[in-house]
Amino acid sequence: MFLLVRNVLTAAEIDQIRQLARAIRFVDGRQSNPHNLAKKNLQADPSTPEAVRAGQIAGTAITRNDEIRNFAFPKRIATPLLSRYEPGMNYGPHADAPFLQLPNGPMRSDVSATLFIGDPASYEGGELVIHLGNERHAFKGEPGAMIVYPSTTLHEVAPVTSGERISMFTFMESSIPNQLNRELLYALNEVSALEGFNISWENRTRLQFVIANLHRMWAG
Amino acid sequence: MFLLVRNVLTAAEIDQIRQLARAIRFVDGRQSNPHNLAKKNLQADPSTPEAVRAGQIAGTAITRNDEIRNFAFPKRIATPLLSRYEPGMNYGPHADAPFLQLPNGPMRSDVSATLFIGDPASYEGGELVIHLGNERHAFKGEPGAMIVYPSTTLHEVAPVTSGERISMFTFMESSIPNQLNRELLYALNEVSALEGFNISWENRTRLQFVIANLHRMWAG
Amino acid sequence: MFLLVRNVLTAAEIDQIRQLARAIRFVDGRQSNPHNLAKKNLQADPSTPEAVRAGQIAGTAITRNDEIRNFAFPKRIATPLLSRYEPGMNYGPHADAPFLQLPNGPMRSDVSATLFIGDPASYEGGELVIHLGNERHAFKGEPGAMIVYPSTTLHEVAPVTSGERISMFTFMESSIPNQLNRELLYALNEVSALEGFNISWENRTRLQFVIANLHRMWAG
Amino acid sequence: MFLLVRNVLTAAEIDQIRQLARAIRFVDGRQSNPHNLAKKNLQADPSTPEAVRAGQIAGTAITRNDEIRNFAFPKRIATPLLSRYEPGMNYGPHADAPFLQLPNGPMRSDVSATLFIGDPASYEGGELVIHLGNERHAFKGEPGAMIVYPSTTLHEVAPVTSGERISMFTFMESSIPNQLNRELLYALNEVSALEGFNISWENRTRLQFVIANLHRMWAG
Amino acid sequence: MFLLVRNVLTAAEIDQIRQLARAIRFVDGRQSNPHNLAKKNLQADPSTPEAVRAGQIAGTAITRNDEIRNFAFPKRIATPLLSRYEPGMNYGPHADAPFLQLPNGPMRSDVSATLFIGDPASYEGGELVIHLGNERHAFKGEPGAMIVYPSTTLHEVAPVTSGERISMFTFMESSIPNQLNRELLYALNEVSALEGFNISWENRTRLQFVIANLHRMWAG
Amino acid sequence: MFLLVRNVLTAAEIDQIRQLARAIRFVDGRQSNPHNLAKKNLQADPSTPEAVRAGQIAGTAITRNDEIRNFAFPKRIATPLLSRYEPGMNYGPHADAPFLQLPNGPMRSDVSATLFIGDPASYEGGELVIHLGNERHAFKGEPGAMIVYPSTTLHEVAPVTSGERISMFTFMESSIPNQLNRELLYALNEVSALEGFNISWENRTRLQFVIANLHRMWAG
């Protein structure tokens, strides 16, 4: 249920966002989660024009990406926000809030995503670490890559020990809220897309019948 | 879970729609389902004024019909569209798409419907055929009659062998998405409507208590 | 969600059951549903050796049948029982009881079935009629054929107007209780069985992954 | 699953609403439920300025109340309406309608509430009585107190035998529609609020992880 | 969702159980819940012949009671056990364990019950108190009466201040695990039992159709 | 949702199983999954006394392990079976069968487990690899360690490139079939176990109330 997508951003978009990140005003990340003692990072002030612009660039890139759309069935995507971790900063294990209060009503966060902006060679530590029971699965992506993961997990950003971690994060409300359902529908859609005209018309129709009914049944 | 409703359209409305159907520009039905090789029919171009007008007449007639409302619990009804099958045309077995993209957001299709416009004596073949496992159930209605059936089924329009089949089709999003739930609530409402003041007030209250809670529980 | 299966019984088995039916003691069908005024038929007394023997023959035939197993996912099958409708007899519209009290505990009836024993030419009327909303779907099978249908429906046996209708009926508890779920799993299994080695190994694995998880999720 | 909240209204607000209640035009309560023979009371005509004003005062008071918000998870709150029961009036056992037709679309009633305005010493009878199987649980609150209860129950207002019962009623659509789910989430939130920094950070995080996922899973 | 049933035990059975209660060896109630500091009562040692005999008498009485069967849909009933509260004893607020470990496998407790043995005039305090949010509902029954309540609630036995409270308690696994579902099915069964032959056969059939399908759908 | 448990087996048990593994007759692993072309390994013939004995030792060890019981809520545990991968062998990506046919009826596989017997330094490759979308998570445990993972995933054993991989595998039917539910209940139980007497009795009771109801609600 993880999807690592490369090249969500083009090289030009990465450059643009990096320039905005240099100009932007960063504030204490706890401003948006005041009670979370585990959070020690910096976030762009979302009201600044640079944050808005960076959010637009990344939002457009995510929206146009077929892999993400096929995997996450996004209904709504929150505006991505820049964050910065300096040496010693981290975001301890936490669960994402189930609902974000957006201007046009609450948005359920089914899928979380980190979009890597900085070069992984430019900082040590800072991995996104997903807790899977007592196992840990860590990600550190190339610039422009995005890791998509279920909002249902505990996860953390490991302490940055040198350099600076620049990335963006966002949340999606999925039209298929349950993670396993989403994964099964994605798998059937893949089979249909890859084998559609290789299999008999009758079986293609059967597959479409199942896909249509599962989609209808599981939508939320 | 099928409902055949007679006289959804008045004689005058049937005439109006027939006249519009003669004036209308029909296009290849595959325009709205480009990948569906099973579809060989003609559909009104929905942007023409005649199609809009025919859709309004039929939509109004469906909306005012108590039998349909009681049976389908419609939340939204897509604008009905005219279709024409000439000899040799058919629409092979298919499942209706689970969601239609409408201007004001996606609409789930829980219930599908065919509104018969042409006289059944004027064409051969062209039955609406619902697949129920390996059984088939066929419909061919009088002008103005509408057959309502669950969008969850595989169904087809049999080949027209002579004459011309003129009908309209539409989809409804139901406030009770699950078909069996819808059927049970419909049955209880019928009992309540038909026996309401024949049974004791205490039992009427019990029935209302059950109906209210099932409606609340199953709404989606 | 109906399955008409031909040749569930061999010619020899049909003969055996017909001979047993001639020897058997039939009793008023209302013995097993005393409050059902709609029931006017005769049923074999299940304690007679002939009824036991006929039940064994039919039960064995049903159990060995792949089509039925693939379609109904039977967990338990009640012993089939002979019934006889003479002219004027019928079984008005009714819903099958949700649970049968069997010696080893209650058995849920998810799937109902009629096994035709007599020649359809030997009696008039007597169709098994399934109510689908305000539509009716009627069956009258060849000897040895079985019609399998969801126990969730209203259904009836139409009045016999001449001759004698001899058939058997049974119920199955399915390992997939919900009818639509059963139908979707059946369809995917068909695709997998028919296209299994035609599609890429990766897609075959995806299909198995979906089938295994749906089976696990929907089992009851 | 009941919550009795004292002092939802301040003394000044109670006074204001009492003055409005004296000026207001009351109409037969059956105007909003014409078929309910059990309803014998008076309700404010909701279109009068006094009713609108009283509804605003009460609505504001409910919205600002933390206890109610934590318990009911309200998504929408219907405008509270004044009712009056004179001697001999009552509202027999009934289930609240599952959906209210509001200007901006149907609102599901998950939670019902009575806000007491008059002094309980000023009238006899008139208790709000909730049916719990064959038990009855009765409420009669101080002015400004509100009793919140699940809309799923049968309930009644007992006959007023002397004096006059003045109160307001309203309905809420909850973001957690199922009552037991709502109660469990409320209990966990209480534990977290009361013990949050007393327990280890790791266990606080576990609790938040569970709360976030239950909220996401049960939201509707 | 509460049911108070009078005369579950006959006068003779009450006498028998009282005599057994005098002869029985009582042990600290915490033996069966060692970690529950809120429990301060005495329970019969279930291995003594008197406890076995009292359990048989009460179990037989519960099993033969139609009201209880219709309300609780019991699948299994745990052997009732005698308890005694002396002055100063109580059982603080607690939730019943979801599963009891019985010799033939775990039994889910959906429904809890208290069977009153002693005369309510013979002891002060000792009410069974059910928590409903921040409201409390208290029961103190006549000898032979039984109160049935959902195991999902918090409940307690209030301190006995004088005399001695003798009662029995038991648990049931219901074939309809969810409480609201159970209540709805019970209500429909009542309507059917009370109005069955007063309403038209067609509506009686509709009601049976709904009842059969809800029972099937909700069984667990 | 993974649990890596160290020292499930004692050093003595590891030795015993290794000796049995040397004596045992291994057969082609495809005997139990004849159609799975991805399976290239050896499995103990389960009918041999050595396989039975090894299964008993491992089964006893798993059953006595608190960590596993708390995490997996096992209802039934299949007898663990030895497998051996020689160089070039692997078990390609596959989903575990949803049901195993055991002598006493079908057993649902909710949780899968690998028990490592051989020293990880004694073979190269052979990791257990779980697919999580397009990410892979690999395990290679110390002797006596067991990795527990959801049967819902695709997973594989990577090719062994040198040495010999000796391990055991088993499946569990959980009393909490859904993985996320299992994880949430586990987390709450951990909080209760670790903070039970640190938090107020009232909050401990609230926590137990939630745990009991979630357990009841989610059991299957």
Indicate if the pLDDT at residue C105 is higher than 90. no
Q: Which residue of B has its CA nearest to A214?
A: B98
Indicate if the pLDDT at residue F105 is higher than 90. no
Residue type, E117: I
Indicate if the pLDDT at residue E43 is higher than 90. yes
CB contact under 8 A, E135 and D4: yes
Mutate to test the interface with A, among B111, B112, B152 (most CBs of A within 10 A): B152
Question: Nearest 5 degrees, angle CA A165-CA A70-CA B113?
Answer: 145
pTM above the 0.80 mark? yes
Residue type, E108: R
How far away is chain B from the Cα of D31, in angstroms, using its nearest Cα? Answer: 19
**Residue B4: partners with Cβ closer than 8 Å, 6 or more residues away:** B139, B141, B145, B146, B147, B148, C133, C134, C135
Indicate if the pLDDT at residue F119 is higher than 90. yes
* β-bridge partners, D135: D132
Q: Which residue of F has its CA nearest to A183?
A: F133
Q: Which residue of A has its CA nearest to C200?
A: A195
Name the residue among E205, E215, E216 with its Cβ closest to that of C94: E205
> Contact C95/E205 with Cβ under 8 angstroms?
yes
Residue the block writes with tokens 């663990």 = F80
In this prediction, residue D159 carries a pLDDT of: 98
Q: What percent of chain C has pLDDT over 90?
A: 93
Task: Report the distance separating Cα B108 and Cα B155, nearest Å.
Answer: 18
In this prediction, residue E92 carries a pLDDT of: 97
Q: Which residue of C has its CA nearest to A199?
A: C195
In this prediction, residue F96 carries a pLDDT of: 95
In this prediction, residue D197 carries a pLDDT of: 87
In this prediction, residue A139 carries a pLDDT of: 96
Residues of F with CB under 8 A from a CB of C: 35, 37-38, 92-99, 106, 108-110, 151-152, 154, 177
Reference B95, options C132, A214, C177, C133; nearest CA is A214
Mutate to test the interface with A, among D69, D73, D181, D216 (most CBs of A within 10 A): D216
DSSP-derived 3-state class of residue B37: coil
Q: In A, which residues are within 8 Å of B95 by CB distance?
A: 205, 208-209, 212-213
Residue A42 tokens, joined: 């910096």
What's the Cα-to-Cα distance from B103 to each of A8, A77, B79, B100, rounded to whole Å?
Answer: 28, 19, 12, 10
* β-bridge partners, A174: A74
Q: Which residue of E has its CA nearest to F214?
A: E98
> Contact B157/B84 with Cβ under 8 angstroms?
no
Q: In F, which residues are within 8 Å of D191 by CB distance?
A: 199, 203, 206-207
The mean pLDDT value for B147-176 works out to 98
Q: In A, which residues are within 8 Å of C213 by CB distance?
A: 180, 184
Task: Report the distance separating Cα F138 and Cα F156, nearest Å.
Answer: 9
- Is it the case that chain C and chain A have 3 or more CB pairs lying under 8 Å apart? yes
Residue type, D75: K
Task: Report the distance separating Cα F102 and Cα B199, nearest Å.
Answer: 53
Digit-coded pLDDT (tens) for F35-87 = 888 999 999 999 999 999 999 999 999 999 999 999 999 999 999 999 999 99
- Is it the case that chain A and chain B have 3 or more CB pairs lying under 8 Å apart? yes
Task: Report the distance separating Cα A42 and Cα A24, nearest Å.
Answer: 11
In this prediction, residue F114 carries a pLDDT of: 98
Digit-coded pLDDT (tens) for F156-215 = 999 999 999 999 999 999 999 999 999 999 999 999 999 988 999 999 999 999 999 999
How far away is chain B from the Cα of C173, in angstroms, using its nearest Cα? Answer: 18
Reference B198, options C93, E199, F42, C214; nearest CA is E199
Give the torsion through C-alpha atoms of F59, F63, F68, F69, to 10 deg: 150
CB contact under 8 A, E108 and F219: yes
Indicate if the pLDDT at residue A196 is higher than 90. no
> Contact C17/C115 with Cβ under 8 angstroms?
no
Mutate to test the interface with A, among B75, B99, B155 (most CBs of A within 10 A): B99
Task: Report the distance separating Cα B67 and Cα C6, nearest Å.
Answer: 38
The mean pLDDT value for B67-91 works out to 97
CB contact under 8 A, B209 and D98: no
> Contact C96/C130 with Cβ under 8 angstroms?
no
Query: Tens-digit pLDDT profile for chain D (220 aa)?
Result: 899 999 999 999 999 999 999 999 999 999 888 888 899 999 999 999 999 999 999 999 999 999 999 999 999 999 999 999 999 999 999 999 999 998 888 999 999 999 999 999 999 999 999 999 999 999 999 999 999 999 999 999 999 999 999 999 999 999 999 999 999 999 999 999 999 889 999 999 999 999 999 999 999 9
Instruction: Please tell me the number of Cα atoms within 13 Å of E174 on its side-chain side.
Output: 30
**Which 3-state string (H, E, C) describes chain A?**
CEEEECCCCCHHHHHHHHHHHHHCCEEEHHHCCCCCCCEECEEECCCCHHHHHHHHHHHHHHHCCHHHHHHHCEEEECCCEEEEECCCCEEEEEECCCEEEECCEEEECCEEEEEECCCHHHEEECCEEEEEECEEEEECCCCCCEEEEECCCEEEECCEEEECEEEEEEEEEECCCCHHHHHHHHHHHHHHHHHCCCCCHHHHHHHHHHHHHHHHHHCC
Residue B16 tokens, joined: 């109006």
DSSP H or E run through E59 = helix E49-63
Work out the burial of residue F14: count CB atoms within 10 Å of its CB; fewer than 13 is exposed, 13-18 middle, 19 or more buried: buried
CB contact under 8 A, A108 and D205: no
Higher pLDDT, E103 or F204: F204
What's the Cα-to-Cα distance from E211 to each of B126, C157, E131, E184, E190, rounded to whole Å?
Answer: 39, 21, 31, 10, 11
Task: Report the distance separating Cα A80 and Cα D204, nearest Å.
Answer: 28
Report helix angle A11-23 to A49-63, nearest 10: 160
Residue E8 tokens, joined: 């579950």
**Distance, first Cα to last Cα, chain C:** 19
Indicate if the pLDDT at residue C37 is higher than 90. no
| DSSP classification of residue D2 | B
Work out the burial of residue F36: count CB atoms within 10 Å of its CB; fewer than 13 is exposed, 13-18 middle, 19 or more buried: middle
**Which 3-state string (H, E, C) describes A47-103?**
CCHHHHHHHHHHHHHHHCCHHHHHHHCEEEECCCEEEEECCCCEEEEEECCCEEEEC
User: Chains contacting C with at least 3 CB pairs below 8 Å?
Assistant: A, B, E, F
- Is it the case that chain E and chain B have 3 or more CB pairs lying under 8 Å apart? yes
DSSP-derived 3-state class of residue E170: strand
Q: In A, which residues are within 8 Å of C207 by CB distance?
A: 187-188, 191
Largest separation between any pair of C-alpha atoms in chain F? 60
CB contact under 8 A, F217 and D180: yes
CB contact under 8 A, D137 and E133: no
Residue F42 tokens, joined: 């050896």
Residue type, F151: S
Reference C150, options C73, C214, C90, C79; nearest CA is C73
In this prediction, residue A197 carries a pLDDT of: 87
Q: What mean pLDDT is reported for chain F?
A: 96
The mean pLDDT value for E39-66 works out to 97
How far away is chain B from the Cα of C33, in angstroms, using its nearest Cα? Answer: 22
In this prediction, residue B196 carries a pLDDT of: 82
**Residue F104: partners with Cβ closer than 8 Å, 6 or more residues away:** none
CB contact under 8 A, F194 and D207: no
CB contact under 8 A, C179 and B180: yes
Residue E35 tokens, joined: 């970690």
Residue type, B43: Q
| DSSP classification of residue D3 | E
